[in-house]
Structure 1
Amino acid sequence: MSIPLRAPRRAALTRRIRWLVAATITYNVVEAVVAITAGRVASSTALVGFGLDSVIEVASAAAVAWQFSGDDHERRERTALRVIAVSFFALAAYVTVESVRALAGADRAEHSTVGLVLAALSLAVMPVLSAAQRRAGRELGSASAVADSKQTLLCTYLSAVLLAGLAVNSLFGWWWADPLAALAIAAVAVKEGRDAWRGEACCAPAAACTDGCCD
């Protein structure tokens, strides 16, 4: 059984989530601009898709920012969760379509030094932001903050997929590795979107989590 948070602690956690969401939005805006620009220059669908994923993540983070912009953030949580769920579904749909197109032989991912650097940087930054927001969301009991942290974590997986896909394609010519891995990510996105829509994102304090959903 969890102990109710004192008002000062709740206020501190709310401020922390606001800062983390702001950092996530800022990073993803820059990431989207760089990825889409580099993708167009290199004719890389994978990079353009990665940039569009960043746009979707901005929408998810913006929903949480809106929720915590006022004192009634608990009443706004259901709406924020629905927006996050839709962003998961949109991401899954886009990744699936682009993966199928790639497997069919259209717009295969090409080598891009900028893409490799960007994917590696995101692979380092995103897990830190995700973990920090997940901890704060769990302690505060906010399902939307936890769900958004999962969206950020999904970007980590996509970064790894992009990095591996571009590297393997450059080294061995295995162009099909990226779309296959991306399809697995799409399946995860659908599951997380369904949980967010139902309001099932784990938001219990760490001490109260017994089913592993907070790991």
Structure 2
Amino acid sequence: MENETQLQNYKLALWLSFITIGYNVIEGLLSVIFGMEDETLALFGFGLDSFVEVISGIGVAHMVWRIQKQPNSNRDQFEITALKITGSSFYLLALGIGLSSGISIFTGHRPETTIWGVIIGGVSILSMWILIQYKIKVGKALHSSAILADANCTKTCLYLSALILVSSIFYEITGIGYIDSVGSLGVAYFAFTEGRESFDKAKGKTCCSSCSCSV
């Protein structure tokens, strides 16, 4: 009975990783499309960040599958490579968005509207909160520090969603153009921290800005 329950929890953990991947694909597409249409750099950058999260999510799904097969095993080459690709992508994203934000502030660029940032940011906060709760629940049930670390790392996505929501609301209320650029700088900051954390993990650490580090 205990083994059957454990198997169900591993299946749930795997499904949660698949749901995370699927959600990020949809979120990324919508954010990039509406970000381009409304000329909001913050939402566009948020969408690109979601696509990088897909790469990370594939690595997490593989991690859950590996732990299910061999609970005491260490990261394999696939996971390490995925983490390095994810980290590099986040660094490039941070650089690109940072430069674009500086140009937007200098030129006084103003988005058409940020209403989609409000909608997508709000939906993302709710979705990430639900995913975090389930990941914590299954991580505790399996006594898996790796799954719990992934749940804590999902909090970064929650904070990023909150940033998009707040910056989008402030722009809709005030109409001040540089608010969108400041929001995109926040996206660049989170992308940089996520990149650093990915490389830390590749070196053997389960580290997040929202959790402690352990080998």
TM-score category of the 2 structures, normalised to the smaller one: 0.7 to 0.9
Gap change, CA 1:62 and 1:121, over 3 Å in 2? same
Shift of 1:117: 1.2
- Counterpart CA distance in 2 for 1:188 and 1:51 is 13
Q: What secondary structure does 2:107 align onto? A: coil
Q: Specify the alignment match of 2:12 in structure 1.
A: 16
Q: Is residue 124 from structure 1 mapped to residue 126 from structure 2 by the alignment?
A: yes
Q: Against the structure 1 CA distance between its residues 41 and 187, is the aligned structure 2 distance closer, same or farther, given a 3 Å change threshold?
A: closer
Deviations 1:19-67 (A, max 9, x none): 1111111111111222222223223222222211111111110122233
Contact kept in structure 1, 2:34 and 2:116, CA below 8 Å: yes
The residue type paired with residue 141 of structure 1 is S
Q: For 1:28-177, what aligned pairs fall within 5 Å after superposition?
A: 28-70=24-66, 71=69, 74-76=74-76, 77-105=79-107, 107-133=109-135, 136=138, 139-142=143-146, 146-147=149-150, 150=153, 152-177=154-179
Whether contact under 8 Å (1:21, 1:64) holds in the other structure is: yes
Say which structure is richer in helix.
2
- Taking structure 2 as the reference length, the TM-score comes to 0.72
Is the CA contact 1:147–1:196 (under 8 Å) kept in the aligned structure 2? no
Q: Secondary structure at the match of 2:206?
A: coil
Query: Do the aligned partners of residues 8 and 132 (structure 1) sit closer, same or farther apart at CA in structure 2, a change above 3 Å counting?
Result: same
Q: Evaluate the alpha carbon distance shift between residue 83 and residue 153 of structure 1 in structure 2; reply closer, same or farther with a 3 A threshold.
A: farther
Segments of structure 2 that go 5 or more residues without pairing to the other structure are: none
- What root-mean-square deviation, in Å, do the aligned CA atoms of Structure 1 and Structure 2 show? 3.3
User: Contact 2:114–2:169 at 8 Å: present in 1 too?
Assistant: no
Structure 1: gaps spanning 5 or more residues:
1-5, 204-211
Contact 1:157 1:185 in 2 (8 A): no
